[in-house]
Structure 1
Amino acid sequence: MSSINQWIDEYHKGSRFGLNGEILIKKTSKYQEIIVVENEYYGKALMLDGCWMTSLKDEKYYHECLVHPALSSMDEKSNVLIIGGGDGGTARECLKYSQISNIDLVEIDEEVIKISKQFLKEIGGEAWNDKRLKIHIDDGVKWVKNTRDKFYDVIFIDCSDPSEFSNLLFSDSFYSDCKRLLTKKGILATQSESPESFKNIHISILKSLKKIFRVSETMYSFVPIYPSGIWSWTFASEDVINLSKQNCNEALRIEKGCEIWNLNFQNAAFKMMPNKIVKELNS
């Protein structure tokens, strides 16, 4: 690729969210266009089909917030499913917990994993070499349909925004299958879009999870590279979950190694629902 710096933009509702840098790779897989650009401030950043997925500078805002509220609050967690997560960041955070014995990472696009291993090594790190991590190149929707009941303690949905091949990951039928797969005290953790730039999708996810699960809670924080900056993660379960309590004796050690997440940050983030979202959920 050319070493000349250029602007790479995500276009969203008349706005542009862009980085200026050198394109390290640009290719089209079976499913999507994949670009890695290197920016002076954000470092290497991954774009899929015109949408920013992650960057070296701010990826921990996303991955730590998706993983640790669920895992630090659980007594038992040995078997984990990650839907998506091809950059390796979610697996990396999960593997910080010694109690986890198996992670099935189901990614539909093998090229995302290959490119992330080559150009975004700092994100996945040694997670790719951990024997507890099993990689499956498969459709996440089909995977959950074909897995037996009560098989996973935690399911992480680390997918891209709704698109032609990911829409079903936001459907009631998919969430219901995930519920079937979870153990009695299991937790579903999903990225739930932005209350600002993807408001309608965000509300739809929250309503679906409230309808399907006994309990669901949403936290808000920031991922600077994403449109509008504000993002959300929602946690759902059939058990009464207490996400403000760290039941895991490893939590303090893990917290010290985190760049963004700690219990105070988490507790505040669960109280940040914008009032316009509260009103729409209650309407």
Structure 2
Amino acid sequence: MNRPTGCVCWLGLLLLSASLVHAQSGRLVATGGASMIEGGSGGGIVPWSTIAGYSSEGEWGGAAFLTRVDSGDYRLDSRGLAVGWGNRLELSLTDQRFELPTLASALSLPTDRFRQRILGAKLRLYGDLIYDDWPQISLGVQHKTQRDFLVPSLVGARDDSDIDVYLAASRLWLGGVAGRNLLTNLTLRSTRANQTGLLGFGGDRKHSRSLVAEASVALLLDRHWAVGAEYRQKPDNLGFAGEDDWRDVFVAWFPNKTISVVAAWADLGSIASLDGQEAWYVSIQLSR
């Protein structure tokens, strides 16, 4: 499938999901989160304990998204769907396309893009985002398959697929800062992924799993606008190029429960031997 046709098909899925997934919920706007680059509910680079969509007990909800991250040297297009049931269970499917024209030209690589598919599941184990004294806690898994493994294998990656497991704790503090709502999130992840799996899993430097921490904070300026920041630790498995932690600052717009738009600036550090990768990030989500 060529890129224009693929984009049209995914936009069609976005519109279809918004019209077919049914959930009449009294949940607050933005409590379904945005869509992270690996799919499922969260911030841009960090999963939250929230469940995609606005479903309440006994209801179905969901979300679909398109995201682009562009540093000039690299570009990531991520698109996916997530379905939530009863504000309890989330299932997601995400396709990613990672383009590296600068590196491919400089090193005469046999390909200038990598693809990855991610199947995700998340279960809310305990608590409520707003109304409990303790944070809402969810357990998530992401099965990742790197679909263009030749180059990652040549630079030391050991496997073309693996599973990330994470535990996320989130809390929305009503009137937490100067009368404005504040969301905080902490995630612990067990992973072997190189650059989230886009460069395979495990490596010549380290093959075993790493336990890494991720965090998000978002201040809701009013019912429709939020600003925040995120931080994500990364493993460092490959000898040919170090892998740095990621961080971003973002602004999010939630005009209603159907659509949200997130724009961000991200500091991605060194990626595949190219240092100082700073990128802009835009994501559009439709949800019910």
TM-score by length of 1: 0.30
Structure that is richer in strand per residue: 2
Structure that is richer in helix per residue: 1
TM-score by length of 2: 0.30
